[in-house]
Amino acid sequence: MIKVAKFGGSSLADAAQFRKVAKIVLSDPSRRYVVPSAPGKRNKEDVKITDMLYACYEETARTGEISPVFGKIKQRYDEIISELGLNISLEKDYEAIKNAFIARVGKDYAASRGEYLNAKIMSEFLGFDFIDAAEVVFFNDNGSFDAPKTYNVMRERLKDSERAVIPGFYGVTANDTIKTFSRGGSDITGAIVASAADADEYENWTDVSGVMIADPRIVENPKNISVLTYRELRELSYMGATVLNEDAIFPVKKAGIPIHIKNTNAPEDEGTLIVTHTDKNNESSVLTGIAGKKGFTVLTLEKDMMNEEIGFGRRLLNVLEKNGMSFEHLPSGIDTMSVVVNDHELEGKEDVIISELMASTMPDSISIEKNIALIAVVGRGMKNAKGTAASVFRALADEDINIRMIDQGSSELNIIVGVDNSDFEKSIKTIYSKFVK
Ligand code: ASP
């Protein structure tokens, strides 16, 4: 059994957090590869090391002299080293980094040092090997991730290492320049290492106990989702539930490796397991999750005998395509077809779109409904449960919420309801309390 454990910045913000992490890693011998982020915030007012590095580099590049922020960065690492009682010095690294900043080697290099230094400390503390990401994560010249080379090299390298710490967030380009993934990119490195190690599980340790059924800013103390499928996760994240970077999901999803989201500050909590497939339904509810977003517009075209008119849908969509617009949903009735678009897609184009739709589809009417919020009620269990949709609609009606649109995906994995922006929060609360016991 092999587990790859990625720890986020808040899990490694100071020496006390490092101790928690070491306890977690060493309590399970299958946790063989550890991917750390850079130290995050210790409290609300604090600054993440990554942000300090960007600022420090920017100021150094501007003035030609090393920024005073550099001293603060050093201090944070040195504090961790001394509080952990480690017998190492990063002075040589600091010196090299300082010189590289003055020589303006690039902001990606600058930001990457947060993970690099942290991984060095972590490997020392755990007694694991240190594998520099610059030796095992590669980018093409055009900046895209070089998967074939990375997997070839990393696979071989991991075979030589029983236990290792690999810094997250960065790799190297073909011409030896350090390059980072997007912000939060240690998640991606973790997923790549899990895939290369052919891991049984990719653990993603953070400061929450997993994915919640609904947004805690809307529903007070929502329950946790214990098991989630990749497809459900996709439905929920499209609707705004941010869990992991999409790029971070891809490598493990492709390899069929489950992701386990866990809380460093409450390791005994079960967390959320994300899997390709499961026959088990969640215990607390037939719904897996509820997520949503405000700011949509519904354009509805009505035309008598539309169902018999060949090419109507194509003509409608053609107008959108020609104007470079994507659409979210396409609910239709016998003589109506609606397209749901994101408000920002329509901005400045409304008049053109309407007149082009008029000309190419010749509808009896076109109506525009703005300020629509979409809510996705997601659950693999709905397929086998009768009456879920009815219960959703009744619950909303009982609260006097007007449903402006309904769309059920053919996979029966979700029901999408459109309500007024102003009813958004109330709708989510209502659905949650109706279904989650
Ligand atoms: N430290 C980097 C950031 O703040 C990457 C990460 O934490 O995943 O974006």
> Residue ranges of the alpha helices (H) in 13-146?
15-26, 49-63, 69-83, 91-102, 107-126
CATH node for 289-435: 3.30.2130.10
pLDDT surpasses 80 at 57:
yes
Using CB atoms within 10 A of its CB, is residue 68 exposed (0-12), middle (13-18) or buried (19+)? exposed
Please state, rounded to an integer, the average pLDDT across all residues of the chain: 94
348: Cβ–Cβ under 8 A, 6 or more apart, which residues?
none
From residue 39, alpha-carbon distances to 287, 360, 392, 414 in Å are: 36, 57, 43, 38
* Atom 5 (ligand 1) nearest CA: 184
CATH node for 3-207: 3.40.1160.10
Pick the atom of ligand 1 nearest to 8's CA. 7
Pick from 104-118, 128-142, 227-241: least confident: 227-241
169, 181, 207: residue to mutate for ligand 1 pocket, most atoms within 8 A of CB: 169
- The residue-averaged pLDDT of 308-337 equals 93
What is the reported pLDDT for 75?
97
Pick from 78-92, 125-139, 255-269, 384-398: least confident: 384-398
> Which residues have C-beta atoms less than 6 Å from ligand 1?
9, 37-38, 48, 50, 114, 168-169, 183-187
Pick the atom of ligand 1 nearest to 181's CA. 5
pTM: 0.87
pLDDT surpasses 80 at 283:
no
DSSP assignment, residue 40?
A: -
54, 186, 247: residue to mutate for ligand 1 pocket, most atoms within 8 A of CB: 186
3-state secondary structure of 103: coil
What is the reported pLDDT for 242?
72
What is the reported pLDDT for 8?
96
- CA 185 to ligand 1 center in whole angstroms: 6
Pick from 30-34, 46-50, 68-72, 209-213: least confident: 209-213
Pick the atom of ligand 1 nearest to 186's CA. 8
Read off the pLDDT band of 241 (50, 70, 90): low
Query: Where do the CATH 3.30.2130.10 domains begin and end in the chain?
Result: 289-435
Pick the atom of ligand 1 nearest to 114's CA. 1
6, 183, 245: residue to mutate for ligand 1 pocket, most atoms within 8 A of CB: 183
Element at 254 (helix H, strand E): helix 246-255
What is the reported pLDDT for 424?
96
Read off the pLDDT band of 386 (50, 70, 90): confident
pLDDT surpasses 90 at 322:
yes
Of 49, 41, 46, the residue nearest 119 (C-alpha) = 49
Q: Which residue has the higher pLDDT, 383 or 76?
A: 76
Read off the pLDDT band of 182 (50, 70, 90): very high
- The residue-averaged pLDDT of 313-326 equals 95
Q: Which residue has the higher pLDDT, 284 or 85?
A: 85
- CA 348 to ligand 1 center in whole angstroms: 36
Query: Where do the CATH 3.40.1160.10 domains begin and end in the chain?
Result: 3-207
Q: Are 122 and 114 in contact (CB under 8 A)?
A: no
Pick the atom of ligand 1 nearest to 9's CA. 7
Pick the atom of ligand 1 nearest to 185's CA. 8
Write the pLDDT tens digit of every residue in 342-368: 999 999 999 999 999 999 999 999 999
Report DSSP letters for 215-229, one per residue.
Answer: -TTTSSSPPBPSEEE
Q: What percent of the chain has pLDDT over 90?
A: 84
